[in-house]
Amino acid sequence: MRELDVLIVGAGFAGMYMLHRLRKEGFSVKCFEKGAGVGGTWYWNRYPGARCDVESMEYSYSWSEELQQEWEWSERYSGQPEILRYANHVADRFDLRRDIEFETEVLSAHFHATAQRWIVKTRHSETLKCQYLIMATGCLSSTNHPHFDGLEDFNGRTLHTGEWPHNEVNLENEKVGIIGTGSSAIQAIPHIAEECGHLTVFQRTPNFSIPARNQPLSAEEVNGIKAEYQEFRSLNRLMPAALGAKFMGATQSALDVEDERRRQEFENRWEYGGFSFLGAYNDLGLKLEANKLAAQFVREKVSSIVCDPETAKKLSPHNVIGCKRLCLDTNYYETYNRDNVELVDVNTSPIERFTADGIKTSDSVYQFDTVIFATGFDAMTGTLLRVDIRGLNGQTLKEKWYAGPITYLGLMTSGFPNLFMISGPGSPSVLTNMIISIEQHVDWITDCINSIKGKKASLIEPTPDAEQEWVQYVNAVADQTLYPTCNSWYLGANIPGKPRVFMPHVGFPNYVARCDDVVANDYQGFVIQ
Ligand code: NA7
């Protein structure tokens, strides 16, 4: 049986950097990846229009000055193919592939208490032993396939945005249906509408979307950032979402500004595009009254863009803006002015079933060649719980987390010694620039493993008290914001039966300070032996 110091699961941006760090520290380490290539999220999400919503100069590794200087991003927001090229470039440049085993899915990991080792089994029936197991499996990696009656009868093609085929998908002249209007759908719909014959969009909840204003990056802008890249990174790390220092950080309340000035500020931000919109005032994510002003502005924009008043009304989002992740688009609302696009509100016309030819709602029958599920993910915990992970006394992670994930710092959970999660529930992860959060976790884990070695110890796990306190703290912080007020995937609310618990930690700098304090206090809240 192979034996390693560390096994990393997943070769996305988390797994790749983790591998690089631990290999440099001299540990025997391998990375197992289910896909046939690196890139994680960006390997699987290849749907038309897939694009990052964090700006390219920020959504990239900061740990290698040479890398960040030499890589040339072409657009303000990178499209999926360019991000995947970047991931491949990193894998080659740092010779990571020799320690990544592709098409190798981990099915189970059981902790053997006497041997103090994790016993890991793969789909290829290999069994191996490792001292540390690091789950770098991503927050949006288990797709959500909601149940629809009759789906098995449908003779057409079905696709999921999060599992898009690797060969070209030709939708020309096809009748296409798409279910869902989250970020993936909002990016894909304008592209699909241009390509296909007719597109029917099935919407359950209208989302807030802001124009991305994507454009080519100018040499001037790139050179300006590269001249002071470290400073640029440091400023962004001080922001609550570890991004956008140039447009977040407003100090004024939306309620303290007269109507006309506020309107102009929203207008400026709408024109500038992207997440900057939510940075207009310091209380848009905190006070309902302030939030309503921003939400109303977007609703008015929707009505001014969409020609058909009935469609505009259906598209008008009615909840709290930013409570679900804000969507960024290119021509999303404009697409509904096309003759070949139709919007169906499934609240008033519920989908009853799939038929052999398409979909039957309560009041119509639709024929489709292809139906696209843009129905999102079992986020943050989905992939961790799909692996059969068993800790001390055979307890499964599923049993332990039956009422919601319990972690300390989003890094570890008690009863599961030497099991680390990168961007696990309870850490800032999806509320931040993921790459920056990933780097902070990877660096923390590397220091931790080195420290255990330095102490001539072999095991680490958090205490139950520390993790209980942490979960309460994460929820208390979230409760000071508007995040818990809607049915988002941050709360697990998109998956029937999933416990409703706010999973990410709000605020990057506070989180980093807590992690640093824990280390400064000799790994307070952990037991090392
Ligand atoms: P999201 O944001 O979870 O969106 C999924 C969409 O699918 C959303 O509009 C859902 O409606 C809809 N949905 C899910 N199940 C159903 C059923 N059963 N019937 C009708 N509609 C349904 O996933 P995305 O992939 O778009 O984006 C995920 C993240 O990736 C995004 O936040 C960015 O960070 C990138 P609902 O809103 O639940 O009513």
Ligand 1 and 45: CB distance under 6 A: no
Ligand 1 and 328: CB distance under 6 A: no
Rounded CA gap, 94 and 70, in Å? 14
Dist. CA 464 → ligand 1 center (Å): 34
Confidence of residue 37 (pLDDT cuts 50, 70, 90): very high
Q: Give the DSSP letter of residue 286.
A: T
Ligand 1 and 138: CB distance under 6 A: no
Per the CB < 8 A criterion, the answer to whether 295 and 320 are in contact is yes
Atom 32, ligand 1: which residue's CA is nearest? 325
Ligand 1 and 179: CB distance under 6 A: yes
Q: What is the pLDDT of residues 232-284, one digit of tens each?
A: 999 999 999 999 999 998 999 999 999 999 999 999 999 999 999 999 999 99
Dist. CA 162 → ligand 1 center (Å): 11
Rounded CA gap, 178 and 343, in Å? 10
The encoded tokens of residue 75 equal: 């657009």
pTM of the model: 0.97
Q: Which residues 6+ apart lie within 8 Å of 329 measured at CB?
A: 186, 187, 190, 209, 210, 211, 212
Q: What is the pLDDT of residues 70-105, one digit of tens each?
A: 999 999 999 999 999 999 999 999 999 999 999 999
Dist. CA 328 → ligand 1 center (Å): 14
Ligand 1 and 376: CB distance under 6 A: yes
Ligand 1 and 180: CB distance under 6 A: yes
pLDDT at res. 251: 93
pLDDT at res. 389: 98
Instruction: Please give the full DSSP string across 151-199, using - where no structure is assigned.
Output: GGG--SEEEEGGG--SS----BT-EEEEE--SHHHHHHHHHHHHHBSEE
Ligand 1 and 433: CB distance under 6 A: no
Dist. CA 373 → ligand 1 center (Å): 9
Average pLDDT over residues 309-320: 97
Instruction: Please give the full DSSP string across 201-248, using - where no structure is assigned.
Output: EEESS---EEE----BPPHHHHHHHHHTHHHHHHHHHTSTTS--TTT-
Dist. CA 253 → ligand 1 center (Å): 31
Q: What are φ and ψ of residue 481, in 5° steps?
A: -115, 180
Cβ-based neighbour number of residue 403 at 10 Å: 9
Q: Which amino acid is at 216?
A: P
Dist. CA 387 → ligand 1 center (Å): 23
Dist. CA 339 → ligand 1 center (Å): 25
Confidence of residue 444 (pLDDT cuts 50, 70, 90): very high
Per the CB < 8 A criterion, the answer to whether 328 and 275 are in contact is yes
Atom 2, ligand 1: which residue's CA is nearest? 182
Rounded CA gap, 420 and 399, in Å? 18
Atom 29, ligand 1: which residue's CA is nearest? 183
Asked if residue 113 has pLDDT above 90, the reply is yes
The encoded tokens of residue 150 equal: 């009759």
Ligand 1 and 489: CB distance under 6 A: yes
Rounded CA gap, 472 and 475, in Å? 5
Dist. CA 376 → ligand 1 center (Å): 4
Dist. CA 54 → ligand 1 center (Å): 19
To test the pocket of ligand 1, the residue of 44, 52, 204 to mutate (highest count of ligand atoms within 8 Å of its CB) is: 204
Q: Closest ligand 1 atom to the C-alpha of 181?
A: 9
DSSP alpha helix (H) spans, 2-110: 13-24, 41-44, 65-70, 80-93
Residue 378: alpha-carbon gap to chain centroid: 11
Write the CA distances from 265 to 80, 280, 316, integer angstroms. Answer: 31, 7, 21
Average pLDDT over residues 282-304: 98
Average pLDDT over residues 329-358: 98
Please report, rounded to a whole number, the percentage of residues in the chain having pLDDT higher than 70.
100
Dist. CA 180 → ligand 1 center (Å): 5
Average pLDDT over residues 99-125: 97
Ligand 1 and 374: CB distance under 6 A: yes
Ligand 1 and 145: CB distance under 6 A: no
Ligand 1 and 49: CB distance under 6 A: no
pLDDT at res. 249: 85
Q: What is the pLDDT of residues 200-235, one digit of tens each?
A: 999 999 999 999 999 999 999 999 999 999 999 999
Dist. CA 329 → ligand 1 center (Å): 15
Per the CB < 8 A criterion, the answer to whether 32 and 7 are in contact is yes
Dist. CA 169 → ligand 1 center (Å): 22
